[in-house]
Amino acid sequence: MAEILVLLVNRTIGNLKGDPVWVAPDGANWGFHESKQVWINSGRAAGDWPGKFIILKLPGVTVASIKTRLLEPEQIDVEYFNEEKGVRQVKKLDIRNRRRRIDIDNIPKNAGESNAMLRDGEITKSITELNANETVRVADTALEDEVFDRVKLRDPTLTRL
């Protein structure tokens, strides 16, 4: 089984709700900010847990397959002038940390599962359920132009391919 640490709140720099943070095998040693159970086991009060993450458990899914799918960065190809070589070359420009996002609000769940997910900080689902409801989505690429324009300010030789 694979366990996915998923951000449950928007962060100020770069990461958004639903971004997969890390993928680990079943029974991973999560930190106390990541796992409510670890938070409680370390002597902290359950009511004080910050709840910024959930752990999504996927039985029957390998860590390698889900890492490949979820942890890939979003990139675009750009052409730039390599002054050292005196030629134009192509390189990949990172647009965001993760190409795909998990639509936390649309994970198929009944009311009891929804309450348990928020209460316990974890939920177990099958990959079939996630795929059937298109829960794993390619992230919105609205930022692509904005990121490219910022990078172009530093390197005016860039052009998009």
Region 113-136: mean pLDDT is 81
| Band (158; pLDDT cuts 50, 70, 90) | confident
Q: End-to-end alpha-carbon separation of the chain, Å?
A: 39
What's residue 35's pLDDT?
Answer: 92
What's residue 19's pLDDT?
Answer: 86
Q: pLDDT digits over 5-17, tens only?
A: 998 888 756 677 8
- Contacts of range 31-38, beta carbons closer than 8 Å, 24 or more positions apart: 34/5, 35/121, 35/122, 36/120, 36/121, 36/122, 37/120, 37/121
What's residue 55's pLDDT?
Answer: 93
| Band (94; pLDDT cuts 50, 70, 90) | confident
| Band (41; pLDDT cuts 50, 70, 90) | very high
Domain boundaries, the chain: 2-160
